[in-house]
Amino acid sequence: MRQSHARRLIQKRNEKICARYYYWTEEQRLRSDDAIRILSEEEFFISEATVLSILKKAQFTAKQQLKGNMDFKRPTKLPTITKEMLAVIKKN
């Protein structure tokens, strides 16, 4: 089934959020909570809860794909996005 235009835009937004989170936490060495606040208030203008939800979902999906669909617990703490995970997220 073909994706709607809105769904593709949301998927692209979510990829950008993951990329920017990686930038702030890994390259700029900012704390996770500060990075989420910046993404929420200065870059994407969505709630911190929404940003956190997007990051956790992307982390869970990327871990599944990287580990061969092994069963993982849903993440409960602040997410960690690695370069490998970011590549998988962008590929989808």
Tens of pLDDT, residues 54-88: 999 998 888 777 776 555 555 556 778 888 888 88
Domain that includes residue 72, residue range: 5-91
Residue 77 has a pLDDT of 66
Q: How many domains does the chain have?
A: 1
Residue 89 has a pLDDT of 83
**Of 16, 19, 23, which Cα lies nearest the Cα of 44?**
16
pTM for this prediction: 0.76
Instruction: Say how far apart CA 25 and CA 36 lie, in whole Å.
Output: 9
Residue 88 has a pLDDT of 85
Residue 12 has a pLDDT of 94
How far is it between the farthest Cα atoms of the chain? 41
Question: Measuring CA to CA, how many Å separate 25 from each of 3, 6, 10, 83?
Answer: 31, 28, 22, 12
Residue 73 has a pLDDT of 56
